[in-house]
Amino acid sequence: MGFGGPLDTEVFRAALREIGQGLIAALDHALFEVNPKGTDGLEFLEARELEGLRGSGIIKVGDDGKPLLALPGTARFLREALAAHISESATPAAILPDVTSGLWFIERKIRNALRSAALAKYQDNWRASVLGARNGEVLRRAQLDTNVAAKSVTDLRDPLEWLTLGELMEIVRSDKFDNLGVEAVIWRKLQEQLIPIRNRLAHVRILKSEDAEVVRMWATLIKSRFGNG
C-alpha cells in the first residue's frame, strides 16, 4: 500500500480510493458503527471483506487469528480518511439499481396486501380505519407532500403510502391484521434485515456489498407469498 511517507490521512485516502464501495461500507461499520473509539469492530468483518482489506494492505490477521490494522496506532488517521472518502463519494454502487427495484417491489406488494386486507375487513371505511392512531400524522405528511387540499385521510388515494416501512410492518403485525397470514418470525426478520438497507438508501449512505443479495432473497419470498402481479 506504499506507506513510505508520513502516516497521515492522505496515505489512507489514497488506499481507500483503490477499493470498492462494499469494502468501504464494511470498514465504516467496523470503525464507526460498532465502536467509534476502538478497533474491535474489525472482528465483525465477513471473510470476503477481510480478504479484500488484507489485499489492500489496510488489515492484517494477528497470531491469534483476529484482524487488526496492518500499521498499529493509525486508527485515527484511517477513521478521518474514511470519513472524508465517504463524504466525497458521489458515484452510485453498481448494486444500486437491484437494491432499489427490489425494495420497491417488496414494499409495494406488502402495502397492496395490507390494502386488500383492510378493504375486506372495513370495506368503504378502510382508509379511516387501517391506520389507527396514525390518521393525523399521515394526513399531515400527505398535506406537506402532494395532497394539499386533503381534509381527512379519507381524501387520500392510499394513506398507506405515507407510512415508513417500520410503521407499515407494525400495522401488518398488529392483531387487526394477524400478520397477513405470514409467520410472525418472517416479518420480524424482514424488518431486521431490510429497514437498515432502506435507511441507507433514504439517507444516501454507502450500500453494503451484501445488500443486493439480501433484498433479492426477500423479494423472492414476498413473490412466493403474494404473487408477482
Instruction: Using a cut of 0.75, tell me whether the model's pTM lies above it.
Output: yes
What would the pLDDT profile of 28-72 be if each residue is shown by its tens digit?
999 999 988 889 999 999 888 999 999 888 999 988 888 999 888
C-alpha pair distances (Å), 205 with each of 18, 23, 107, 197: 19, 14, 20, 9
What would the pLDDT profile of 138-196 be if each residue is shown by its tens digit?
999 999 998 999 999 999 999 999 999 999 999 999 999 999 999 999 999 999 999 99
The alpha carbon of 88 is separated from its chain's Cα centroid by a whole number of angstroms, namely: 20
